[in-house]
Structure 1
Amino acid sequence: MSVTTADPTRLAAIRVQQAGRDRQKPISPAELARRIVRNYRITPAIELISDVISDAITQPGRRYVITTPPRTGKSVLVSRVGVVDALRRNPNAQIILASYSDELAQDHSREARAMIAEHSALLGYRLSPDKTAVGRWRVDGHAGGLLAGGINSGATGFGADLLLVDDPVKDQTEADSAAHRRRVINEFRSTLMSRVHPGGSVVLVMTRWHPDDLAGTLLRDEPDVWTHVNIPAVAEAGIPDALGRAPGVVMTSALGYTAAEFAAIRRSVGERAWYSLYQGVPAAPEGGLIKRDWLDQWRLPAAPTAPTKTVVGVDPADSGSGDSCGIVAASMTREGVVAVIADVSAPMTSDQWARAAVDLAVDVGASEIAVEGFSARETYQRVVKDAIRRTATPHPIRVTTWPPKGSGRGGGDAMARSSALLQGLETGTTRIAGHLPDLEGAAVTWQAGQHQPDALAALVVAHDVLVHAIGQQWGFASPLDSERRMREGTITSMPGYLRRRIGG
């Protein structure tokens, strides 16, 4: 039966229900986006970014770097709805929005203004009629508003309770220009950051085309200040994933991309663009000096259960003020393979890294802590020994500095010191046990001429100590048995003299 007339009572109830929903204020930027942006879809990635934006809006002094694949809805959420929501919560907030060009920043500004004009009743504010320029406007009756422009356009006469930087670099060509990278970094630091009010928050959204781009510089120079929120299209070992997915899990795409479609995109755009645009890392994780394939090919499922020796290697902080510090544990298996089993590298003071090294040694059963001691050998050794005395260690732990005096090891630059480790990772005599995402990510993005990541420097120390410990032990081997075990894959290599066959 068809109904040709509406029930007035039912229509009245629907209107009351709708009015109630309209009066109910959105509790997050994502929820606001769902209300005011047609067909806006909240995925797990959007929900996480929404939490980040909400935290930056409501809490003082936040610093975030966000990297996600294109077409996820992040710019709509951050640079349009984020502006609208920040002013909804505080109509006196001053916001600066910067992009690589005036046109892009003003496009975001124009859309934000349109949202305010259409949904002023829901938002609880409206635009000031006398301050309505596309790139500079204010909230009616309040001090808050927006200044939008290119990153090189300046921000004279305008402060920021919230600084949003969305796409400060246009493309790969700009990113590959050292001069352009310097201009962007200098403009960000000298102009934009100088406009941030005390307690103001900063959110940077960008594609990581180059290791020394703006995001890379901030994360390297101020690791204890900036939080990196990376959401790769496909979770992969060695790539940070803020969603915490297992390797191989594809993100829920706002546009509905499947695993097969992401694979097709990867084939189409090439490896560098894939990892920069879709995975959030500035170099393909197959690696520069260290290849991703090496780590995956030789990976161990877990740490060895009965190692012959376990060492914690430390690349200490340069000062006592909380610099980046590398602390890595590795074990030698009975087959002579170095297994990298743990990484707790982080910014730490001298007391903190010494205690962290001791705690790790206790956790993994290490018999030695070896500290890289080029600059302050005796001081580092004393600091670690003091930490051991303050800890109830269940077994003796020897403290050494590396390289040993008079050994002739450790000479040359970081590349030279790492040569044995690189060879071991390539041939399988050094393997990652399980998954160590931060260490692996740092390893495969390390390029010649760059500062060596602290975790990798610590691994160089642990690896060298373990490899040279082999020479301190006697052992006997059957060439035929070793050949059999090599075929079975239980050992990864044999010296040439064991493989050589004698005729007759």
Structure 2
Amino acid sequence: MASIQLPSSQAQAAAELARRELARRRAATRYIDFLPTVAPPGWVYDAPHLRLIGQHLDAVTRGEIDRLAIFMPPRHAKTETVTIRYPVYRLEKQPLTRALVTGYNERVAHKFSRKSRNIARGRIAMTDKTGADEWETTAGGSLVARGVGTPPTGYGFDLILIDDPIKKREEAESPVYREKIWDWYTDDLYTRLEPGGAIILTLTRWHYDDLAARAIASEPNRWTILRLPALAEENDPLGRREGQALWPDRYDIESLGRIREVMDPYSFESLYQQNPTPREGSFFKVNQLAIVDAAPAELRECRGWDFAASAGKGDYSAGVRLGVDGQGVWWVTDVRRGQWAPDERDGHLRQVAQLDGPGVKIRMAQDPGQAGVDQALRLTRMLAGYSIRSERVSGDKATRASGLAAQINAGNVRLVRGAWNGELIEELRQFPQGKNDDQVDATADAFNELTLASQSLQGKLLR
């Protein structure tokens, strides 16, 4: 039987209708239903935690979530599910999407990009630009791949996917490296995000002061956090019983138990439970500090200030706001810190006092000698109307901080989540052997001001 040949115009119309129908079906597809169509051999994407991730990614696609943090153990398909396949899904549903994919180095980022590109071929029409560092679709969409520290200069993005920016423990424990990642995020990535764009941070937690902690603290009310520990804890987002494995088909309780036996508790708690805590210090048991989202409204508060001996020599001035509630729980609610010249420091002191309000007492360490007295008098006059007191420093630093240490070591101190958490915790952990102690001194002074009821609280100088 001879085949029927449609006129070219009819054939084109039929092809267009078929194309539109395919586009309609793809647009209606949930992400979790898309995954089996692009799954590698042997992979099953019908796991509860992957379904939950799919629901969150659908919300990102709809514009309901624009900051999503996903914390998962190693080898639980977070990269394959989120970083590699979700950009392809977005380019099918929203063809003009411009996506940025990042990894801990350039090679890894390009590997992600190649995998995404290979999946997209046959599903999405592409231009001749098909490199691992950047590829484009004929509809105007694109995917750019960069490693940590490499700026995507000249581009704007609707979708930024950051995948495990830390490679190993040595990097995680380095304050310098963590600061490098933060600078890259704030200066090179965040500035490339288009209005209405979304950031997805998919990682295994290595450190309490990692990129996730800082990013969430910088926009505390914006992030949706999906924390999926290997072994379920109380209030599990999947409804698991406590101790139940996240992906028992691959890592059952026995497998996770063997891993736990090999690893030290510090590493297992961070990498597998997504609950990084500080290493215990010798003076301050900083692993007893709890980081919370907010403090009670009713606190008796003081901001302690410790001033640098000189500007430009690595010394810091710090102002720490500390409060105590009616149950005797202590709350660090804010830290201001910088390497400021005297005039700049005074400006910060005045501005912070105005922000705190007259209800927050001010305690300043007074330098010895007449110069210290003169400075204290000048600052007291500058801050007229506030409850301010200068205390002449006496005794060693450890003795002055002993009362604060007792409360921290008993688990009675909370830190309100903020970008300053990491630096304060690290300084407390290293005290008294650390390079800097300005924040410790300021916090201890505020603590002593609030606890030593026998001292005057009316803003006068001690002679």
What TM-score do the two structures reach when normalised by structure 1?
Answer: 0.56
Distance in 2 between the 1:94 and 1:259 partners? 40
Q: 1:36 aligns with which of 38, 41, 44?
A: 38
Equivalent residue, structure 2, for 1:290: 285
One-letter amino acid matched to 2:200: V
Shift of 1:416: 7.0
The verdict on how the C-alpha distance between 1:378 and 1:256 changes in structure 2, with shifts beyond 3 A counting, is closer
CA distance in 1, matches of 2:321, 2:28: 42
Find 1:257's aligned residue among 239, 248, 251.
251
Q: Alignment identity in percent?
A: 23
Q: Distance in 1 between matches of 2:135 and 2:96?
A: 12
- Pairing 1:39-438 to 2, within 5 Å after superposition: 39-59=43-63, 62-118=66-122, 120=123, 126-140=124-138, 142-235=139-232, 243=237, 248-253=242-247, 255-283=249-277, 289-290=284-285, 312=299, 329=325, 331=327, 375=353, 379-381=357-359, 419-420=402-403, 422-423=405-406
The DSSP-based 3-state class of the residue aligned with 1:197 is: strand
Tell me by how many angstroms 1:62 deviates: 1.6
- From the superposition, tell whether residues 112 and 246 of structure 1 become closer, same or farther in structure 2 (CA, over 3 Å): closer
User: Could you tell me how far apart the structure 2 residues matched to 1:422 and 1:462 are?
Assistant: 12
Q: State the distance in 2 between where 1:248 and 1:452 align.
A: 42
Whether the 8 Å contact between 1:56 and 1:202 is mirrored in structure 2 is: no
Contact preservation (8 Å) 1:154, 1:191: yes
Alpha-carbon separation, structure 1, partners of 2:88 and 2:321: 40
Displacement of 1:378 after TM fit?
9.4
Q: Per the alignment, do residues 378 and 180 of structure 1 end up closer, same or farther by CA in structure 2, a change over 3 Å counting?
A: closer
The structural deviation recorded for 1:129 is: 4.1
Q: 1:90 to 1:282 in 2, by over 3 A?
A: same
> Structure 1's 170 and 34: CA in aligned 2 closer, same or farther, altered over 3 A?
same
CA contact (8 A) 1:61 1:200 kept: no
Q: Which whole-Å CA distance do the structure 2 matches of 1:325 and 1:50 have between them?
A: 41
Tell me if structure 2 keeps the 8 A contact 1:61–1:198: no
The number of aligned residues is 360
C-alpha change, 1:267 and 1:422, in structure 2 (3 Å) is farther
Query: Structure 1 residue 75: deviation in Å?
Result: 0.9
Q: How much does 1:79 deviate? A: 0.7
- What is the CA distance between 1:276 and its match in structure 2? 2.6
Cα shift at 1:452: 11
Q: Distance in 1 between matches of 2:33 and 2:438?
A: 43
Q: How far did 1:244 drift? A: 7.7
Structure 1 residues 262 and 382: alpha-carbon distance in aligned structure 2, compared to 1, 3 A threshold: closer
SS in structure 2 at match of 1:113: helix
- Offset at 1:242? 6.8
Change (3 A) 1:405 1:28: same
Q: Which residue of 2 aligns with 1:492?
A: none
Task: Provide the rounded CA distance (Å) in 2 between the counterparts of 1:220 and 1:278.
Answer: 22
Q: Distance in 2 between matches of 1:244 and 1:286?
A: 31
Alpha-carbon distance between aligned partners in 2 of 1:197 and 1:377, rounded to the nearest angstrom: 32
Equivalents in 1 of 2:239, 2:401: separation in Å? 31
Distance 1:156 1:43, change over 3 A: same
Kept after mapping to 2: 8 A contact 1:72/1:253:
yes
Match in the other structure for 2:315? none
Determine the C-alpha separation between the residues in 2 that align with 1:221 and 1:41.
33
Give the Å deviation of 1:100. 1.4
TM-score (norm 2): 0.60
Q: CA deviation at 1:97?
A: 0.6
The alpha carbon displacement at 1:146 in A equals 0.5
Measure the CA separation in 2 of the matches of 1:378 and 1:130: 58
Cα distance in 1 for residues equivalent to 2:256 and 2:25 = 40
Partner Cα separation in structure 1 for residue 222 and residue 121 of structure 2? 36
1:448 corresponds to which of 401, 404, 427: 427
CA spacing shift, 1:327–1:218, aligned 2, 3 Å? farther
Residue 55 of structure 1: how far off its partner (Å): 2.8
Amino acid at match of 2:45: R
In 2, Cα distance between equivalents of 1:285 and 1:221: 24
Change (3 A) 1:154 1:446: closer
Say which SS state the counterpart of residue 153 (structure 2) adopts.
coil
Distance 1:143 1:275, change over 3 A: same
In structure 2, distance between residues paired with 1:208 and 1:90: 31
2:171 corresponds to which letter in structure 1? Answer: E
The answer as to whether partners of 2:27 and 2:92 remain within 8 angstroms in 1 is no
Could you give the per-residue CA deviations for residues 138-181 of structure 1, whole angstroms, max 9, x where no partner exists? 223x1111111213333234321101111222212223334333
Quick one: structure 1 residues 189 and 422, their matched pair in 2 at CA, closer, same or farther if it must change by over 3 Å? same
Asked whether the 8 Å contact 2:126–2:136 carries over to 1, the reply is yes
| Distance in 2 (alpha carbons) for counterparts of 1:424 and 1:437 | 13
For 1:148 and 1:290, the matched residues in 2 are separated by 41
Matched position secondary structure for 1:448: helix
The amino acid across from 1:146 in the alignment is: L
CA RMSD of aligned residues (A): 5.2
Q: Unaligned stretches of 5+ in structure 2?
A: 1-20, 291-297, 306-319, 335-351, 362-385, 430-436, 455-463
- Secondary structure in 2 aligned to 1:105? helix
Q: Do the aligned partners of 2:301 and 2:360 also contact (CA within 8 Å) in 1?
A: no
Residues 84, 115 of structure 2: 8 Å contact kept: yes
Corresponding residue SS for 2:121: helix
Q: Is the 8 A contact 1:101 1:149 kept in 2?
A: yes
